[in-house]
Amino acid sequence: MYAAEPPRYHHIALLEIPEAPNVDVFHAEMDKAATEQPHLLLSLISGASVFLQKHPFPEVMNKTFNSLSHVFYNPPSWTIPANRVDENLVRYRIVVLARECRSFIHAYTTANVMLPTLMQMAHNTDSDARALSLLLAAALAPALSNDARVHHLIIEALSSEHLYEKLSAINAAEEFGRLSREFCDIVLVKFGELLTSNEVQTRVKVRLLNALSNFRDGVSICDRSIELGKSLLSKDFDKSVIIATYGMFTKLCRKMARINEHVDYLLDELDSNSSDPVLLASILGSLASLDEPSQWNDAQVERLLGQYPLIVRQKSPTACFCYLKCLLFLLTKRSFNAKISAEFPFIVLLFTHPDFAVGVSAARVIIRLEQSEVVAAAILQFLPDLIARMPKQDVRHQRILCKVITEYCTKVQTTRDSAATVVQELINIGKSSKSNEVVVSNVLETLNAVCNSSPALFSVVLPFAIELADGSLIKDDNAMEVDDQAVDIIGKDKEQSFKPTIYLFSLLLAPSFARGENVEAVGKLIEKYLPALSLSMKYQVAVTALRFGHWHDVASPLLKSLPLGKLSRPSAQWIKALIGIAETQSPGSVDFATLSSSFATAEDVSSILNQLSSDPSKGALFAFPSHFIEVCCRFLYVLKGFTALLNSNLPLLNATADFVKRNIAQQCLFWIGQAERIATALDALGQLAFDADKETHNRILLWKYFYSLLHFSLQFFTPNPAQTLPALAQIETASSTNYHIFNALVWASNEVAKLVAVGTGVEHQHQHWMKRLTKANLQHVNTIFLEVWKSIAFFLPRAVFHQVHSTRIRLNIQFNGREIDGRYQVPMADRQHPVTVQGFVKTNNPAGICIVQVKGVLHVLRPNGTEIPPVDAPQQRSVELSDGTNHFSTRFSFSVKQTSRIRFTVTFIDKTSKKVWSSDATAAIIVQIGGR
Say if 793 falls within a structural domain: yes
Distances, alpha carbon 395 to alpha carbons 252, 363, 390, in Å: 34, 18, 9
pLDDT given at position 655: 64
Instruction: At 813, give phi and psi (nearest 5°).
Output: -105, 130
Considering the domain boundaries, does residue 753 fall inside one? yes
Beta strands in 34-154 (DSSP E): 79-80, 83-84
* C-alpha span between 806 and 400 (Å, rounded): 26
Domain boundary residue among 761, 779, 800? 800
Q: How far is CA 426 from CA 186, 408, 448, in A?
A: 59, 13, 12
List, in order, residues 6 or more apart from 473 with CB less than 8 Å away. 500, 529, 532, 533
Distance (Å) of CA 244 to CA 197, 232, 241, 282? 16, 11, 5, 9
Q: Is 420 a domain residue?
A: no
Please give the Cα distance from 90 to 80 (Å, whole number).
Answer: 14
Within-domain flag for 536 = yes
Whether 545 and 684 share a structural domain: yes
Q: Which of 769, 800, 831 is the last residue of a domain?
A: 800
707 and 748 together in one domain: yes
CA angle 864, 866, 868 (to 5 degrees): 120
Note whether residue 820 is domain-resident: yes
CA–CA separation, 850 vs 517, rounded Å? 52
Report the pLDDT value the prediction gives residue 574, as an integer from 0 to 100. 96
Same domain, 761 and 812: no
The span from the CA of 186 to the CA of 209, in Å, is 16
Count of the separate structural domains present in the chain: 3
- d(CA 409, CA 160) in angstroms, rounded, equals 58
Report the first-to-last Cα separation within the chain, whole angstroms: 57
694 and 821 belong to one structural domain: no
Q: How many angstroms separate the CA atoms of 440 and 497, rounded?
A: 10
Residue 683 lies in a domain: yes
Same domain, 765 and 821: no
Cα separation of 304 and 278, whole Å?
18
- Do 717 and 588 share a domain, yes or no? yes
Distance CA 870, CA 903 (A): 11
Task: Find the helix or strand (DSSP H, E) in which 136 lies.
Answer: helix 127-139
Residue 12 confidence (pLDDT): 47
Whether residues 755 and 817 fall in one domain: no
Pair 537, 666 in one domain:
yes
In a domain, 341, yes or no: no
pLDDT of residue 697: 96
Separation CA 254–CA 236 (nearest Å): 27
Which pLDDT value is given to residue 479? 38
Which residues lie below 8 Å from residue 736, measured CB to CB, with a gap of 6+? 451, 452, 453, 455, 458, 510, 511, 514
Q: Report the alpha-carbon angle 465-467-473, nearest 5.
A: 90
Distance of alpha carbon 193 from alpha carbon 171, whole angstroms: 17
**H-state helical runs in 483-555:** 484-493, 502-508, 522-529, 535-548
Nearest-angstrom CA–CA distance, 245 and 232: 8
The CATH number of the domain holding residue 833 is 2.60.40.10
Q: Give the per-residue pLDDT at 594.
A: 93
Q: Residue 667: what are its φ and ψ, rounded to 5°?
A: -65, -40
Torsion angle (degrees, nearest 10) of CA 917, 918, 921, 923: 120
Give the largest Cα separation in the chain, rounded.
Answer: 106
Q: What is the Cα–Cα distance from 424 to 59, expressed in whole angstroms?
A: 62
* Dist CA 880 CA 863 (whole Å): 39
Closest C-alpha among 840, 832, 822, 859 to residue 906: 840
CB 569 within 8 A of CB 608: no
Whether the CB-CB separation of 767 and 727 falls below 8 Å is answered with no
| 678 lies in some domain | yes
Inter-residue contact 77 to 85 (CB < 8 Å)? yes
Query: Does 47 share its domain with 167?
Result: yes
Whole-number Å distance between alpha carbons of 387 and 427: 10
Helix (H, G, I), strand (E, B), or coil: what is residue 16? Answer: coil
Backbone dihedral angles phi then psi of residue 840, each to the nearest 5 degrees: -130, 130
> Residue 46: phi, psi to the nearest 5?
-65, -35
Interacting residues of 860 by C-beta distance below 8 A, sequence separation 6+: 867, 868, 870, 871, 897, 898, 899, 900
Cα–Cα dist 716/3, whole Å: 72
Give the separation between CA 714 and CA 669, rounded to whole angstroms. 8
Nearest to 61 by CA among 819, 616, 816, 840: 840
Per-residue CA distances from 393 to 325, 387, 620 (Å): 20, 10, 42
| Whether residue 568 sits in one domain with residue 601 | yes
In 3D, which of 786, 793, 789 has the Cα closest to residue 644?
Answer: 786
Q: The domain that contains 119 carries what CATH number?
A: 1.25.10.10
* Structural domain ending residue among the three candidates 133, 157, 179: 179
Nearby residues of 175 by Cβ (< 8 Å), 6 or more positions away: 138, 139, 141
Q: By residue range, what is the domain housing residue 724?
A: 455-800
**What is the Cα–Cα distance from 780 to 755, expressed in whole angstroms?**
9
Name every residue whose Cβ is closer than 8 Å to that of residue 285 and which is 6 or more positions away in sequence.
Answer: 318, 322
Which DSSP symbol is given to 555?
I
CA distance 158 to 166: 5
737 plus 767 within the same structural domain: yes
- Name 271's Cβ contacts closer than 8 Å, sequence gap at least 6: none
**C-alpha closest to that of 625 among 662, 586, 577:** 577
Strand partners, 910: 849
pLDDT of residue 83: 45
List helix spans (H) across 234-369: 239-255, 259-272, 277-288, 298-305, 308-314, 317-330, 334-341, 344-347, 356-367
Which residues of the chain register pLDDT less than 70?
Answer: 1-21, 77-85, 236, 474-499, 654-657, 758-768, 829-830, 931-932
Helix (H, G, I), strand (E, B) or coil at 236: coil
718 and 815 part of one domain: no
